[in-house]
Amino acid sequence: MDSQLKDILEALIFISVEPLTLDRIKEVLADTPEEELRRALDELAQEYGRPGRGMRLQSAAGGYLFSTKSECDPWVRRLLQIERKSRLSRAAVETLAVIAYHQPATQAEIQAIRGVDSSYTVHTLLEKKLVKISGRKKAPGSPLLYKTTDRFLTYFGLNDLSELPSVEEVAKMLEEEEQHAEK
C-alpha cells in the first residue's frame, strides 16, 4: 500500500504543471492520513536523491516538483537549443506564409499584408535558411525580394511550391468548419 502511494505521488508530481502543494495532495488523496503522505514524500525525495538519477525532487514555492539535476544542465541546454532551432514563432509562421504565397515579395509587401513591420522576422527566417534573397524589385528604391528556399520545402515535406494548399482550399476547409459550428 505504501509503495503504491509513492507511485501515485510520483505520477501526480510529474503531471502537475505547478509545484504540487501538500494541501492539493491531501485533496486528491483524501483518505490517506497526512503523516503517511509526508512519509511517502520523504521516501520519494530520498530515492531521487540517490546517484544515478537525472532528476531530483525539489520542494519549491511551498510545493513539490521534479527538476533536472544541475549536473545535466549542459546537455539540457543543448537539447533546448537544438529544439528551438526547429521551431518558429507565430510571427515567423505568418511572415513565412506571406512569402510562400506571394513570392518573390518585398519587405513592404509583407508589411502591407501583415500590418506590422516584419524586418526582424524576415531576418530570422533568413538565418534559419527558410527564405532567401532572390534579387531586387524593379521599383523605386529597388527593394530586395524574398523567396522561400529548398529547406522550406523540406521542412514542410513538399516536393515543390505547387504542392502548397491553395488559399481556396484552406478557405473551403474553414468554411466547412463554420457551417458545422453553426449547427
Size of the site for other proteins (CB under 8 A): 73
Q: Is 39 in the site for a copy of itself (CB under 8 A)?
A: no
Site string for other proteins, 112-151 (x = CB under 8 A): xxxxxx--------xx-x--xx---x-x---------x--
Chosen residue from 2, 26, 80, 119 binding other proteins by CB under 8 A: 80
Shortest spacing between CB 112 and a copy of itself, in angstroms: 19
Which residues, at least 6 apart from 145, have a Cβ–Cβ distance to it below 8 Å?
103, 104, 105, 106, 133, 134, 135, 136, 137
Angle at 92 between CA 91 and CA 95, to 5 degrees: 85
Q: Is 117 exposed, middle or buried (0-12, 13-18, 19+ CB in 10 A)?
A: exposed
Min dist CB 35 to a copy of itself, Å, is: 19
Rounded CA separation 50/60 (Å): 19
Residue 140 contacts a copy of itself per CB under 8 A: no
Which residues, in sequence order, are CB contacts of 77 under 8 Å at separation 6+?
Answer: none
| Cβ neighbourhood burial of 97 (10 Å; 0-12, 13-18, 19+) | middle
Length of the chain equals: 183
Q: Is there binding between residue 139 and a copy of itself (CB under 8 A)?
A: no
- Residue 112, binding choice from other proteins, a copy of itself, none, Cβ under 5 to 8 Å by partner class: other proteins
Does 45 sit near other proteins (CB under 8 A)? no
> Which residues contribute to the site for a copy of itself (CB under 8 A)?
3-4, 6-12, 14-16, 20, 24, 27-29, 51-55, 66, 68-69, 71-72, 75-76, 78-80, 82-83, 119-120, 123-124, 126, 132-136, 142, 144, 157-159, 162-163, 165, 169, 172-174, 176-177, 180
